[in-house]
Amino acid sequence: MAKESNKSINKINKPTQKIAGSSKLFGDKAKLHDLTVREISKLVVAQLEEEYPQLTFRYRTSIRKEEINEALKKIDPELGQTLFVPNSSIIPDGGIIEVKDDNDNWRVILVSEAKHQGKDIENIKKGILVGKDNNQDLMAAGNAIERSHKNISEIANFMLAESHFPYVLFLEGSNFLTETIAIERPDGRMVMLEYNSGMLNRLDRLTSANYGMPINTNLCVNKFVKHKDKTIMLQATSIYTQGKGEKWNSKEMFDIMMEIARTSLKVLGSDLFNQITKK
């Protein structure tokens, strides 16, 4: 039985279809224009359905706070008790993808968001000066991106009983540089954007969501750390950023999202066994 189980799990780990991004589903239309993360998520669902026809997937745009509280109550009755607005929900940019397990329970396998913050590169290239008196090359970074923490925390609560956390956050814009770049203005003057400038960089505002672990890394599988007599489960967000502030390529996002979804299926393998082996 153990050998048969391992073979079945390998069906999940090693799909027979082409690697992500090479599918016909990601065709000419996708290459012709920029896709939103929500549109890419729907392509991911279609690709998963093609690769794993034994499994049932669904896509939804939101999760109700009431559902999150119910998931918490199943872990401990003291959790999930407070709710002031009955119809409140969270709405990640890319929505939520789930798979139905052998017990007919829906399990989250991918949650995605894409955020752009910092228009300094675009402004410099156009020769636009900013600031109160319109005499600065750079605009001090704002804090809008920190709103992502709410959705991350809510999904973490919803998935507290799971051993994976498939939340991926794509970042682009001048507030998320990982290297120093030089941008030329129309008049020929070069403007330096320092990646370690406190005025510009906001990556450190988000790395609390992955416990300071590496960015541009698939952290979907929860990490268990031991400290003295405690074992602590870490649910880390997989944060991906374009080092030079450029826009994300839709195909690259698709590939990353497929990798994380497949990792989720691998973690859930034993709960999908009956469907995978069904003839």
Q: Indicate which residues carry an active-site annotation.
A: 93, 113, 115
Q: Is 40 left (phi over 0), alpha (psi -120 to 50) or beta?
A: alpha
- Cα dist from 39 to 114, 166, 199, 216, whole Å: 12, 18, 33, 21
Chain length of the chain = 279
* Nearest-angstrom CA–CA distance, 96 and 257: 11
Phi, psi of 26 (to 5 degrees): -100, 75
DSSP for 62-131, written as a single string: -EEHHHHHHHHHHH-TTSS---SSTT-EE--TT-EEEEE-TTS-EEEEEEEEEEE---HHHHHHHT--BT
Please tell me what DSSP assigns to residue 61: S
- Helix 250-267, helix 37-51: angle, nearest 10: 50
Three-class SS state of 264: helix
Q: Which of 151, 161, 162, 160 is nearest to 114 (CA)?
A: 151
